Structure 1
């Protein structure tokens, strides 16, 4: 389990509660709190930056939009700038949570892109990936080399993206239907040149074919077979541009034994025959 740690961008306390407009993404401070005794933290005016918490042990009482809620391990909460917060230990078990304060001109777009709401308990789960993301961020603060800004920003983005994916059961969930769709997508990308049927993919995902089709379209915007077709044609384009393989060899490499059938599909989708596409690209 983690030990108490805290890292600050500025050695001055006041310098770590600021809104930065001169840089794209800035971590003002970060750390992990280990609190064995009762406590209560209250800042009704909030801060100048974003504040993200991720609870890994114990329980906390949190006040969100004036309502007291119970925060449990595997949950996170994000406070937007100038949003007040209040939380306290519940019970007698030691409380441990990771935290980070960040700002910058791209902070708003990061939060919007990850669809992370304020003052809401986020059901992230107890996987180690979010916690390890924080630990990697701490390493950047310890090292502070010439790549510090870029590396620390990338770690923060990864943490927010991982939380966002855990919240979305279709796009990124590691369990349930979302995890099953992802397993099917991985299989398609690794075996696109093989014969693949919807019933086979549905069985791989432990879903009925109709349910699989619906969730797959929700996740990708395409039916499973359309997705496979687009993937094959994209690989065919790449082979025609980067290799001297014949059209027949390209067709077989992406899963079509019949060169004429491949050429018909390619022209229907691109408006050009494979040979015309290759000549145009070479020119």
Structure 2
């Protein structure tokens, strides 16, 4: 991995550290650091903007706010403005980390919405989707067309969204050991076939009762309602985009009886399938 640094305003390094209050979000600069030798760095007086670090290899010792913490591979840390922070690698280790500096009136709200706390390491894992999102951000710095500023802000939101989801997923997995990813994937791929709660619970290696509770907590729906809603959404697409009969659509999304399909569809949307198509 090569060291890279990109600045929004050409190579104006001074303006790569500023707090802006005249726009919602703004990326000051971004890059990646790779060190195979012992090193130390940081900002003794803090920065004017938010400072995000994502460690994807090695380990750092980080000092900030009068305390020290170990910052490990697969973790993210975000420092707010005016926060002095210093860091150094664990002796003899190779370190790779991505960094991003951003500002704006909505910067703090973006982090709050993504449930990304400040001033502490956050477990997110080394995720290829996050690494790819940074590479896409860097690509925008090199392209720098007329939509450059809009695009890098969009990429900032993408990165924070990925971090938020990764952190929430790991937190949930650590809490009860079950993410429901296997069962949700199975439903998405086999919704048109008969699916039992027992089969889904077996995929997660838990009891049916425990599965129902966790599923309702995660989706806000019972498993049966979730599957029915998915079938109806796909039925709507087929009604709009194909010339299939109502009976053919009912069968293709998992309803074996056209009358039952019509009754459930009408209850959900307030009109029968044929009226919806018109």
TM-score normalised per structure 1: 0.86
Give the CA RMSD over aligned residues: 2.5
2:32 maps to 32
Distance 1:33 1:121 in 2: 18
- Find the residue that maps to 1:41 and give its secondary structure: strand
CA distance in 2, matches of 1:264, 1:40: 66
1:246-257 alignment to 2 at 5 Å? 246-257=245-256
CA contact (8 A) 1:169 1:177 kept: no
**Secondary structure class of the residue paired with 2:169:** coil
Q: 1:71 deviation in Å?
A: 1.0
CA deviation profile, 1:3-61 (whole Å, cap 9, x unmatched) = 211111122222111223444432211111223223242434x3222110011233211
What is the CA-CA distance between 1:220 and the residue it aligns to?
Answer: 1.0
Q: Residues 220 and 71 of structure 1: is their aligned pair in 2 closer, same or farther, counting only changes over 3 Å?
A: same
Q: Flag structure 2 segments of 5+ consecutive residues without an equivalent.
A: none
1:226 aligns with 2:225: yes
What are the within-5 Å matches in structure 2 for residues 1-283 of structure 1?
2-10=1-9, 11-35=11-35, 36-44=37-45, 46-169=46-169, 177-178=178-179, 181-278=180-277, 282=278
SS in 2 for 1:195: coil
Matches of 2:234 and 2:172, distance apart in 1: 24
Change (3 A) 1:222 1:65: farther
CA distance in 1, matches of 2:39, 2:276: 69
Q: Deviations over 1:222-266 (max 9, x none)?
A: 111110111112222333334343322222122112111112222
Asked whether the equivalents of residues 38 and 92 of structure 1 are also in contact (C-alpha less than 8 Å), the reply is: no
Equivalent pairs, count: 274
Q: Quick one: distance in 2 between partners of 1:169 and 1:103?
A: 27
Q: Please say if residues 27 and 152 of structure 1, whose CA atoms lie closer than 8 Å, have aligned partners that are also in contact.
A: yes
The 1:48–1:244 alpha-carbon spacing in structure 2 relative to 1, beyond 3 Å, is: same
Cα gap change, 1:38 to 1:64, in 2 (>3 Å): same
- The answer to whether the Cα contact below 8 Å between 1:78 and 1:118 also exists between their aligned partners in 2 is yes
Ranges in structure 1 where 5+ consecutive residues have no aligned partner: none
Task: Work out whether residues 38 and 88 of structure 2, in 8 Å CA contact, stay in contact via their aligned partners in 1.
Answer: no
**Structure 1, 63-72 or 49-58: larger mean CA deviation:** 63-72
Specify whether residues 177 and 137 from structure 1 end up closer, same or farther in structure 2 by C-alpha distance, changes over 3 A only.
same
